[in-house]
Amino acid sequence: MAKGLEFDQVIVPSVDASNYRTELDRSLLYIACTRAMHALTLTFHGVPSLFIAETEV
């Protein structure tokens, strides 16, 4: 069993360059993203954080 809480769906708001820019921010974003079991939604306004890689779905 995984250590920590897991959720069916996780929504992380405001994942933009002004809110997620330091290594601590990167760690917190990683933790939030890895808690999603089925659905992950990231929102941003303006420029997305550099920690989000562009991918094709």
Render each residue's pLDDT in the chain as its tens digit; 57 residues.
556 789 999 999 999 999 999 999 999 999 999 999 999 999 999 999 999 876 555
Sign of CA dihedral 14, 16, 22, 27: positive
The number of residues in the chain equals 57
DSSP 49: P
Report phi then psi at 23, rounded to 5: -65, -35
Please say whether the beta carbons of 18 and 44 come within 8 A: no
Would you state the pLDDT for residue 53?
A: 76
Rounded CA-CA distance 54/23 in Å is 19
Would you state the pLDDT for residue 2?
A: 52
